[in-house]
Structure 1
Amino acid sequence: MKDVQSELDNRGIYLHGVGVSDLEYPIIFNGNHTIGNFTLLVDLDENVRGTHMSRFVEVLNRFYNDLSEERLLEMSRELRKVLEAKKSYIKVSFPYFSLRKAPITKMESYTKCDITYEIINEEVRLYLAIPIITLCPCSKAISNYGAHNQRALVEIGLKLNRDIAIEEIANYVEKSSSGMVFSLLKREDEKYVTEHMYDNPHFVEDVVRDLSVFLENDKRIDGYKVKVVSYESIHSHNAFSEREGKSW
């Protein structure tokens, strides 16, 4: 059959990215069964009319059921090989579920964070969105009893030079916040979580600074961006803080 995509093009226009976007596909990432939203691109020489869209999905079919950071890098190389390209780009976003034990009863339940990987040739960028709790230090200091607290969201972007477990980053986040969000807590767990928050008050500025210390000292991370939004319980606005570090 006629291969129209491989026809010569005389306009002399190089394209930085061609391929497929918003492709939802079942995946297994580090043993976690979930659904990924993919953008798969390569560059296109100025003398070639079009790319072969089916080949992107063919490559994905070789990797979807055994994905990891290293496998995404392999997939990036395979896209360049199969499509005879110099550059490749993979973006995949998915919910990631981890088992978390309640602090006292040790009952297990799943908690979710949202993950995005970007692979640009051999460069890896990882983005995470992790829910936390903040308790206001000012509210605690000026009140005779109690202090306002609320859920907050930590968004992290990481430029990586080596593989790093998502659970390790979540551990950094936990140590930098007033508390974490659980799906399942019994009364004794709630008592612990409430008292732990009260003993660990954090402004959004504190969360960003504490987390930055961990990220600065992790040699697997070449650059990072941290953003924290606290969905304030007694204010009509949110509290916001962010920082970029290393060579982001």
Structure 2
Amino acid sequence: MKLKSQETKNNIKDVQNSCDERGIAIQKVGVSDVHLPFLIQTKNGSFQSVLAKIKLTVNLPQEFKGTHMSRFIEVLSDWSQKPVSAKEMEYILIDTIDRLHAQSAAIDINFKYFIEKTAPVSGFTSMLDYDCAFSGSLTRGQHLNFVLGLKVPFTSLCPCSKEISCYGAHNQRGIMRVKIKHQPGSFIWIEDLAELMEAEGSCQVYPLLKREDEKYVTEKAYENPKFVEDVLRDLVLSLRKVEGAQWFEVECENYESIHNHSAYAAHVETLK
């Protein structure tokens, strides 16, 4: 029975391995919207189990008609139970390049990451979710190109509103988005990047607040008014100080409370 099964397998025509004569090489081909559990390495040395949405691709030379889709899933399945950080991303891509006989590979891993937050006065703790992304690309024989992406909520209070009003000022919840690339051998933990980003709003966002905490965050925001431009510029100054940082991209968006539109600012910078 086993012999017959092997014989059938050998007789199946491999169309994707046939030659293509159109002369077009494809930079990226593979699988996207793959949902798998992944283990993300945390700063304290443990790991966090997350549901990841993944895209994994390789280059395809012009003479090949198609790639081997099943091998991408094999790679991801093998790595889904191992803690992943920047170093492991390189191994995943090397594994992909070897199995697919490719010259380059790229991966995007998007997931929700949870960090424990402590309320500023009551001390109650709870978990806040952050949208996080690991993006990596690798060419055979070269260093990993790794980018960490993080989206962080914050509170901002309008300086103009505070200045012109007899009392009060309008505020809003905003979102900071940062992508950061480090020199080979350097990196920043998700927890440290989140802390750096949260410090630049008028006030942090907390998932659990008691009345004394609500009083604190309301007054803190009032004492620290910032336009979306202020938030972005302060964040840029902080990112410039990150050791080993090579490049970053920043977006800040305020979901305005008195307008039916958002305020937006963005900045990209390559560091020396």
TM-score range for the pair, normalised by the shorter chain length: over 0.9
Match of 2:159 among 118, 133, 137: 137
* Equivalent residue, structure 2, for 1:78: 95
1:182 maps to amino acid: Y
Please tell me whether residue 56 in structure 1 is matched to residue 72 in structure 2. Answer: yes
Match of 2:105 among 73, 88, 103: 88
TM-score w.r.t. the length of structure 2 is 0.86
Q: Tell me the SS of whatever aligns to 1:164.
A: coil
Please tell me whether residue 24 in structure 1 is matched to residue 41 in structure 2. Answer: no
Please tell me whether residue 148 in structure 1 is matched to residue 132 in structure 2. Answer: no
How far the C-alpha of 1:230 sits from its partner, in A, is 0.5
1:33 maps to amino acid: S
* Equivalent residue, structure 1, for 2:61: 45
TM-score w.r.t. the length of structure 1 is 0.94
How far the C-alpha of 1:164 sits from its partner, in A, is 1.1
* Equivalent residue, structure 2, for 1:99: 116
2:150 maps to amino acid: L
Query: Is the radius of gyration larger for structure 1 or structure 2?
Result: 2
Query: Which stretches in structure 2 are left out of the alignment for 5+ residues?
Result: 1-8, 42-46, 139-143
How far the C-alpha of 1:236 sits from its partner, in A, is 2.5
1:99 maps to amino acid: E
Summarize deviations over 1:128-168 as a string: whole Å, max 9, x none.
11110001111111222211111001111212222211111
* Equivalent residue, structure 1, for 2:44: none
Cα distance between partner residues in 2 of 1:243 and 1:46: 37
Summarize deviations over 1:99-137 as a string: whole Å, max 9, x none.
111111221111111112211111011221111000111
Cα distance between partner residues in 1 of 2:219 and 2:100: 57
* Equivalent residue, structure 1, for 2:50: 34
Contact 1:70–1:163, Cα closer than 8 Å, also in 2: no
How far the C-alpha of 1:21 sits from its partner, in A, is 0.9
Contact 1:216–1:246, Cα closer than 8 Å, also in 2: no
Query: Which stretches in structure 1 are left out of the alignment for 5+ residues?
Result: none
Cα distance between partner residues in 2 of 1:194 and 1:159: 34
Cα distance between partner residues in 1 of 2:172 and 2:59: 45
How far the C-alpha of 1:48 sits from its partner, in A, is 2.2
Q: Tell me the SS of whatever aligns to 2:214.
A: helix
Cα distance between partner residues in 1 of 2:167 and 2:53: 47
Contact 2:151–2:175, Cα closer than 8 Å, also in 1: yes
Contact 2:150–2:194, Cα closer than 8 Å, also in 1: no
How far the C-alpha of 1:11 sits from its partner, in A, is 3.5
Q: Tell me the SS of whatever aligns to 1:5.
A: helix
Match of 1:120 among 125, 137, 149: 137
Taking only aligned residues, the RMSD between alpha carbons, in angstroms, comes to: 1.6
Cα distance between partner residues in 2 of 1:52 and 1:225: 34
Summarize deviations over 1:152-206 as a string: whole Å, max 9, x none.
0111121222221111111111221111111111111111111111111111011
